[in-house]
Amino acid sequence: MDGRDSSGAGRLSHVGQFFFDDEIKLVIDKMHPYSESPIRDTRGRTRNWRDSLNIFEDSHGPEGKYNPVFKLHFLGGVTSQGFVGYITMGVNASASYDNFWKG
């Protein structure tokens, strides 16, 4: 989101993460340029369940009522031809929070 809002409520913000299915990421990791990543063998890719903010786990926890993983569809018959993805996100336009990041 770029902060522009067509609802007339002002600026909207999103703080969180979206995820791609780990199985798709494993396939893409084997493709160029990801297969040549200098940290591939030392650090690897962070898997969804190891998300340091626990967003993925929290979405599936006792109160988890949403799915942060993009729904993907192949644009062609193989991964290298690309995907189109979609996700649903709700925004509470009437919520107001202090700006934590201002310091």
* Domain assignment present for 30: yes
* Domain assignment present for 103: no
* Domain assignment present for 9: no
| Predicted local distance difference test score (pLDDT) of residue 1 | 39
Q: Which domain holds residue 71?
A: 22-92
Q: Tokens 């107001």 correspond to what residue?
A: 96
Q: Is 87 a residue whose pLDDT tops 70?
A: yes
pLDDT in tens, 21-70: 989 988 888 888 888 888 877 877 788 888 887 888 888 766 667 788 89
Number of domains within the chain: 1
pLDDT band at 75 (very low <50, low <70, confident <90, very high): very high
- The proportion of the chain whose per-residue pLDDT surpasses 90, expressed as a percent, equals 12
* Domain assignment present for 51: yes
